[in-house]
Structure 1
Amino acid sequence: MRYERHKKRKKRKSTSILLVLLVLISATAGYVFFQYKQGVNQSLEKINNEEKQSDINSEVYAFEGKKDQYGATNILLLGSDARGNEKARADTIMIAHYNEDKGTYKITSIMRDSYVSIPGHGKHKINSAFMRGGPELMRKTIKENFEIDLQYYAIVDFEGFVQLIDEAFPKGVEINVEKRMKEYIEVPLEPGLQRLNGEQMLSFVRFRHDAIGDFGRVQRQQQALQAIGDQLTGIQTIPKLPKLIGVVTPYINTNMDTGDILFMAKDFFAKGRGNIETFRIPIENGYKDANIKGEGAVLDLDLEMNNEAFHQFLTQ
């Protein structure tokens, strides 16, 4: 039986965190690469100053991360569903994998209702780890359950998502909408290949009110990531890169500095990007639907099966 979600939920802004981080990484790298190609020796000081001046998401989190056992750099990507002053669960959980030696970029999405052990707190939905102990507890939770180390984190506020998409793609992002989408999203969508503006893209990656719920939403997030990555590298985007950096940086809380971003982005932009491979936890047939008192509907994972497939994905 496929996992279904029938409960109405309030709208959330943080549903596709990687999309914004990808634009930030590509924009920063693209800006420097463009200046290099033009023969301009421009310092990164201005970019660093702009990052320091941002006071949005200014809370500093402890994060004891490191490279994984395969020598890769992993970035924990979190979107928060906080409203007002309440403590936030992680609405979106992804891991971006960068392997410098192989020059590969991969993405893993972890379903937020995965029922796992949270160090010091017992078993709960994985998205509650952020509420209980910030990105560091989420890092420990992923390490304990999925046996992988994370070096960096990034938390995104999606207030600027619509403006960012509209600025980068004035003609819209070309994407195939597989079905009519209208429930609990700001802008209804009709099926078919089309160009979506910022508000429409936000609806596309938010929508989950169908028979497959969050599974469909994760699939659409990864589809949107591929489309944005493919279309972002177009030459018409390059002159806008400095402005894109200014749009994105105030909405990201991360322990990555500009040097970290440039280091990981140089091959992505300058040498041409191959396909970004994607993976989902749990895998097909790697979980059971369950109802747990105090937790509600959860995904009860077969950790051995999921970890075997996950680590095969990381090393292939």
Structure 2
Amino acid sequence: MRYEKQKEKKRRKTKSILLVLLLLVCATAGYSYYQYKQGINQSLEKINNGSTEVNEEVYTFEGKKDQYGATNILLLGSDARAGEEKSRADTIMIAHYNEDKGTFKLTSIMRDIYISIPGEGKHKINSAFMRGGPELMRKTIKENFDIDLQYYAIVDFEGFVQLVDEAFPKGVEINVEKRMEEFIDVPLNPGLQRLNGEQMLSFVRFRHDAIGDFGRVKRQQQALQAIGDQLSGIQTIPKLPKLIGVVTPYVNTNMDTGDMLFVAKNFFSKDRGNVETFRIPIENGYKDANIKGEGAVLDIDLEMNNKAFHQFLTQ
């Protein structure tokens, strides 16, 4: 009899623990969804004076994991303020995430690379987006660099500004290597300092100096590394739903919210390690050229760049 009472008591205790855990899970999910919606509404207030609708083109994207088992996300930067319905991609990056290894890598593709675009002939690679959206860009990268892309994300630069301001109320600490003022909205002075969203946008877009677009790509990678490093850690995880909500109205992507949370949670984990970066073309893997109808281009050694690129992905 005593045994039956103890068994019943134990069963009730187990049920109570499970109920508490269930309530905690529900509360956490509810809070996360609330924060996510708060972030969306906050951005919508800035975009459409409170409208709950965002005009977003739906793209076909036939992506998959690559041959190394990694998830690759095609990141395309665009500027809605340019007023062009079909614009070239201003920024082209591939974020590589290998879940088995727990590693993140980032590849920047120079936008002036002169390359074969499927069905279109040879042009600057950034025109693939204008000619056929992210799907044609995916096909172009696959054909030339033999890597599959599973997801895409087209990011309006204003979304970058809002994300920085929300995540870093005191700004992102970064070293500005020189005075920057030509063709950017907010001029920057040199030195180690904290930059807000508009200042960070100037930092990653400036390219009117002796090294031009090469310097801009280097600063883009520097900025993303600084943001990732300064956001990493367990204290960031509770902020993720709102941060994703803030940026969602500015991003056109085939990733669902669950995918974004999963990748972001691992990226901002304190155990993530360093984010390695790569650039196409590599040093000494291209020559400057001038093509009629295209202007100044980068004529790359495709075999040399591919070999270095795949070594980077697998090391």
What TM-score do you get using the length of structure 2 for normalisation? 0.82
CA RMSD of aligned residues (A): 2.5
Helix, strand or coil for the counterpart of 2:215?
helix
- Tell me if 1:42 matches 2:29: yes
2:8 paired residue number: none
- CA spacing shift, 1:275–1:207, aligned 2, 3 Å: same
Using the alignment, how far apart are the partners of 1:94 and 1:293 within structure 2?
A: 27
Answer with 152-161 or 302-311: which moved more. 152-161
Shift in Å, 1:298: 0.2
* Structure 1 alignment gaps of length 5 or more: 1-35
- CA spacing shift, 1:291–1:92, aligned 2, 3 Å: same
- Partner amino acid for 2:219? R
Greater share of helix: 2
Using the alignment, how far apart are the partners of 2:217 and 2:55 within structure 1?
A: 24
Using the alignment, how far apart are the partners of 1:248 and 1:315 within structure 2?
A: 31
- Output one character per residue of 1:222-258: Cα deviation in whole Å (capped at 9) or x when no partner: 1011111111125665665443233211111100012
Identity of aligned residues (%): 84
- Output one character per residue of 1:140-191: Cα deviation in whole Å (capped at 9) or x when no partner: 0000110101111011112233333222111111101111111111111111
- CA spacing shift, 1:61–1:166, aligned 2, 3 Å: same
* Structure 2 alignment gaps of length 5 or more: 1-21, 42-50
Choose 1 or 2 for highest CA Rg.
Answer: 2
1:63 paired residue number: 61
Helix, strand or coil for the counterpart of 1:90?
coil
- Partner amino acid for 1:220? R
Matches within 5 A, 1:24-173: 40-43=27-30, 47=36, 55-56=53-54, 58-81=56-79, 83-173=82-172
Using the alignment, how far apart are the partners of 2:144 and 2:68 within structure 1?
A: 17
- Partner amino acid for 2:305? N
Matches within 5 A, 1:1-316: 40-43=27-30, 47=36, 55-56=53-54, 58-81=56-79, 83-233=82-232, 240-270=239-269, 272-316=271-315
Using the alignment, how far apart are the partners of 2:234 and 2:68 within structure 1?
A: 34
Shift in Å, 1:85: 4.4
Using the alignment, how far apart are the partners of 2:234 and 2:102 within structure 1?
A: 22
- Partner amino acid for 2:278? F
What TM-score do you get using the length of structure 1 for normalisation? 0.82
**RCO comparison, higher one (Cα < 8 Å, 6+):** 1
- CA spacing shift, 1:155–1:55, aligned 2, 3 Å: farther
